[in-house]
Structure 1
Amino acid sequence: MAGKANITKKDIVEDIALRTGLTQVQTKTIVESFLDTLVNGLLQGNNVEIRGFGRFKLKERKERTARNPRTGESVTINAGTKPVFEASKDLIKSLNDVLEAAEKAAAPVKNDA
């Protein structure tokens, strides 16, 4: 799999601006508005579903005991809520298809001579 660098919000804004012909300022406003809408939906207790892409939701975590790896001391981790993302079946299939095609293209050709 090529490339291990992170894609930043700035990269996303630049890419969308190039594709749409909008300015980067306009595009940044749209991207930030999208992200704000997503966060506000979660804060209101809703799941946010983007068909063909996936679903964002909140997951409750119970209080638990863990161990500090440096000291070996037991510590209590408080209960809380964390956002999670579940990829759609369409996204998973699409990614797997592309990765499989890339692997086949990179595979050495057998020579039956």
Structure 2
Amino acid sequence: MRSTETLTRAAIAEAIHSRLGLSRAESLAMVESILAHMCEALSSGENVKISGFGTFLLRDKGERVGRNPKTGVEVPITPRRVMTFRASQMLKDRIAAS
């Protein structure tokens, strides 16, 4: 895959279909089920760790003062929850080797 391409749900489902022999509909349902489960876990405040791939972490950011870079005017930034991804060492090594 070239760096300009994007891996999609359909492409993951197609890979499952070709490697495991499940029907295309079953493969897509499996991908959708996994992604839905991950979304539910993150929505309920849980972190998601996929061994050998990485961890999706939730972090609460407090209220702070930001600055408009054009005008220099200070603007309050409301508190919010953000999600970050931390790649596993195995994934980092595979990316570095390619």
**TM-score, length of structure 2 as denominator length:** 0.80
Deviation at 1:71, TM superposition (A): 4.8
Match of 1:109 in 2: none
- Please list every run of 5 or more consecutive structure 2 residues that lacks an aligned counterpart in the other structure: none
Match of 2:81 in 1: 81
- Say yes or no: does 1:67 pair with 2:74: no
- Please list every run of 5 or more consecutive structure 1 residues that lacks an aligned counterpart in the other structure: 100-113
**Inter-partner Cα distance in structure 2 for 1:22 and 1:76:** 51
- Identity over aligned pairs, percent: 36
Larger radius of gyration: 1
Deviation at 1:26, TM superposition (A): 0.9
- Number of positions where the alignment pairs a residue of Structure 1 with one of Structure 2: 98
Aligned CA distance change for structure 1 residues 31 and 69 (closer, same or farther; 3 Å): same
Structure 2 SS opposite 1:7: coil
Match of 1:26 in 2: 26
Aligned CA RMSD, in angstroms, stands at 2.1
| Aligned residue runs from structure 1 range 7-18, under 5 A | 7-18=7-18
